[in-house]
Amino acid sequence: MALWSTQFADGVVVATYRNPPMNYFCAEGAQELAQLIETWRDPAIRAIVLCGAPGGAFITHYSVEELLALALDNNSLRSIGTSLNRNYHTLLLALRDLPKVVIAAMNGNTMGGGLELSLACDIRVGQRGDFRYGFPEVRLGIIPGGSGTQRLSRLIGVGRAAEFILRSRVVDPETALALGIVSELADDAVAHASRIAHEVAALPPKAIACAKRAIYAGSDTHLAAGLEMESAAFLESILSEDSRVAMQTYVDLPYDQRRVWLETL
C-alpha cells in the first residue's frame, strides 16, 4: 500500500493515511481503502481506527487537482456521469457496514471528502488544536458529493446541515463538538481513539454487529420498520454464545459487584 499503512494488535487495526504535503484524499487512496476494508472483515479484527499521519491533517479534503481535471473534460465527465459519486458512496457504505466499530481519529484538518469519510465511521474523535473541519465545497463551485449532504443532515439535523453546507463552513474542533459533528475531543485523538477501540474490542462481537445493523438500517426507514429490524437483531444477538457467556458471568456475580462489572472492561 502506497498511501495507507496499518498496524494490528490485540484485535485493533490502526490505519494511517499519508499523502504529503497536504494529505489530500485521491483516487489511489480510495482504491487502497477499498482493498483494506475487505481484509478488515476478518473476525480476528474487532475494531478499526482511521487517522492521518502526524503533521496536522487527518485527510485535508479530496484532491481539487483531480476534480478540476475532470471538470475540464466535460465530454468524459458526462460519460462517467454519477458513477463517480456512486463509487465513493459504495466505498463509504462498505466501511460503515463492517460488523465492527470503526473510529475516525481526526488528528488534524478534516474537510470535504475527508469529513465525508469520517462521517461514515461510527465514532469521531476530534483533536484539540489549530485544526479545521468542514465542507468548503460550495465556495469551489461544487457540493459535497461523496455522501456529505446526506450523512451530515442525518447526524446533526437538516436545518443545521443546510446552514453548514450552504455557508461552506469550516470550523474549529470545539465548534464541531458543539454542533455534534464529532463525538468528543482529545489532546491526542489517535491515542484516545485507540483506547476506545480496545474497549469495544473486548465486547461481545455479535452484539456489536447486531447493534450497528439495527442503528443504521433503522435510521434509514420509518419507526415501525426500524423496530422490526431491532427485534430481529436482538433475537440474533441473544441466540449467540456471546450473550449466554456474558449474561451468565453477570448473574453469577454478587449484587454489590454487578455495577462495577457493567462499568469496567
Go through 100-114 and write b for each residue having 16 or more CB atoms within 10 A of its CB, e for each that does not. Answer: bbbbbbbbbbbbbbb
Is the Cα torsion angle 114, 115, 116, 121 positive or negative in sign?
positive
How many whole angstroms separate alpha carbon 113 and alpha carbon 134?
Answer: 10
Residue type, 196: I
Contact between residue 58 and residue 118 where contact means Cβ atoms under 8 Å apart:
yes
Choose, from 38, 137, 228, 241, the residue flagged as catalytic.
137
How many whole angstroms separate alpha carbon 226 and alpha carbon 247?
Answer: 26
Q: Of 58, 47, 73, 69, which Cα lies nearest the Cα of 23? A: 58
Answer yes or no: 230 catalytic. no
> CA 265: distance to chain centroid?
23
Answer yes or no: 32 catalytic. no
Choose, from 28, 65, 66, 116, the residue flagged as catalytic.
116
Question: In sequence order, which residues have a C-beta less than 8 Å from that of residue 148 and are 6 or more positions away?
Answer: 112, 115, 116, 119, 135, 137, 165
Looking from the CA of 175 toward its CB, the CA atoms found within 13 Å total: 11
* Active centre residues (catalytic): 116, 137
